[in-house]
Amino acid sequence: SMTTLFISDLHLSADRPDITACFLRFMSTEARGIDALYVLGDLFEMWIGDDDDSPFHQQIKSAFRQLTDNGVPCYFIHGNRDFLIGKRFSQETGVELLPEHTVVDLYGTPTLLLHGDTLCTLDEGYQRYRKKVHNRFIQWLFFRLPLRYRQRIGEKMRSDSSQTNRTKSQAIMDVTPGEVVHVMAELGVNQMIHGHTHRPDVHTLSVNGQDARRIVLGDWYKHGSVLICTPQDCQLETRDFQP
């Protein structure tokens, strides 16, 4: 019905049944019959491999499978928590994995879609770390470990990350304004949609002398968060956990 929905940063986990319930309701109600659903990363709190087939993961995967079977195209861009989502997940769900920077035609407007972590160029520690964990060989080694060990490594990385984040400034944790302009100019787009920073907003800016806009999606920590785009406009909305 001429609607495209964007979500990101749900950080789904078995520990947060409130988020899961809100997401499952979203999938079985307002996501039905739309033109497309885009998930721009951090769908999961963490992902250590497609072989982690817990009942919780099965529940989430079947929600995507039902939607794609109903004819709604679903797309996913990796976040910094779930960059290990792979082909098997895609086959099981019917969700198409897109490259980290993807330009789509959003009702006539070329729009760059990305998670947003690549725009945080002042966070040098993170960018160095990112390069390592995106390395194919390091990932191959990681996947050779039993699931339990990967789980433990993931949990350790999570606690280290929230520890170091406390000492980082807000400017370092946000996108670098110059990088936003640079990336948009390079790809020749006037619109960008991303998540990661958990600062939902619509920013206007100028790229090569043209009006541009950057839409930032919200996280699902206290409520659901969705960007609703129609041929007319895009609107950020929230969804209560307890409707």
Residues that bind ligand LP5 (CB under 6 A): 46, 48, 80-81, 84, 117, 120, 123, 125-126, 129, 132-133, 138-139, 142, 153-154, 157-158, 161-162, 164-165, 168, 173
Least separation, in Å, of the C-beta of 138 and ligand LP5? 5
CB 106, CB 67: distance < 8 Å: no
Picked from Mn ion, ligand LP5, none, the partner binding residue 79 (CB below 5 to 8 A depending on kind) is Mn ion
Picked from ligand LP5, Mn ion, none, the partner binding residue 63 (CB below 5 to 8 A depending on kind) is none
Instruction: State the Cα–Cα distance between residues 99 and 41, nearest whole angstrom.
Output: 11
CB 191, CB 213: distance < 8 Å: yes
CB burial class (10 A; 0-12, 13-18, 19+) of residue 92? Answer: middle
Least separation, in Å, of the C-beta of 114 and Mn ion? 11
Token pair 């999938």 is found at: 27
Which residue is closest to ligand LP5 by CB? 125
CA distances from 219 to 43, 168, 232 (A): 10, 19, 24
Least separation, in Å, of the C-beta of 151 and ligand LP5? 9
Both tokens of residue 109? 């407007």
DSSP three-state, residue 59: helix
Least separation, in Å, of the C-beta of 20 and ligand LP5? 19
Token pair 């990112």 is found at: 130
CB burial class (10 A; 0-12, 13-18, 19+) of residue 11? Answer: buried
Picked from Mn ion, ligand LP5, none, the partner binding residue 2 (CB below 5 to 8 A depending on kind) is none
Picked from ligand LP5, Mn ion, none, the partner binding residue 120 (CB below 5 to 8 A depending on kind) is ligand LP5
Pair type for strands 109-113 and 191-194? parallel
Picked from Mn ion, ligand LP5, none, the partner binding residue 173 (CB below 5 to 8 A depending on kind) is ligand LP5
- Residues that bind Mn ion in the complex, under the rule CB under 5 A: 42, 79-80, 196
Which residue is closest to Mn ion by CB? 196
Least separation, in Å, of the C-beta of 147 and Mn ion? 23
Q: In terms of CB distance, is 91 or 164 closer to ligand LP5? A: 164
Instruction: State the Cα–Cα distance between residues 237 and 30, nearest whole angstrom.
Output: 13
How many residues belong to the chain? Answer: 243
Picked from ligand LP5, Mn ion, none, the partner binding residue 110 (CB below 5 to 8 A depending on kind) is none
Q: In terms of CB distance, is 29 or 165 closer to ligand LP5? A: 165
Picked from Mn ion, ligand LP5, none, the partner binding residue 136 (CB below 5 to 8 A depending on kind) is none
Instruction: State the Cα–Cα distance between residues 92 and 79, nearest whole angstrom.
Output: 19
Q: In terms of CB distance, is 48 or 215 closer to ligand LP5? A: 48
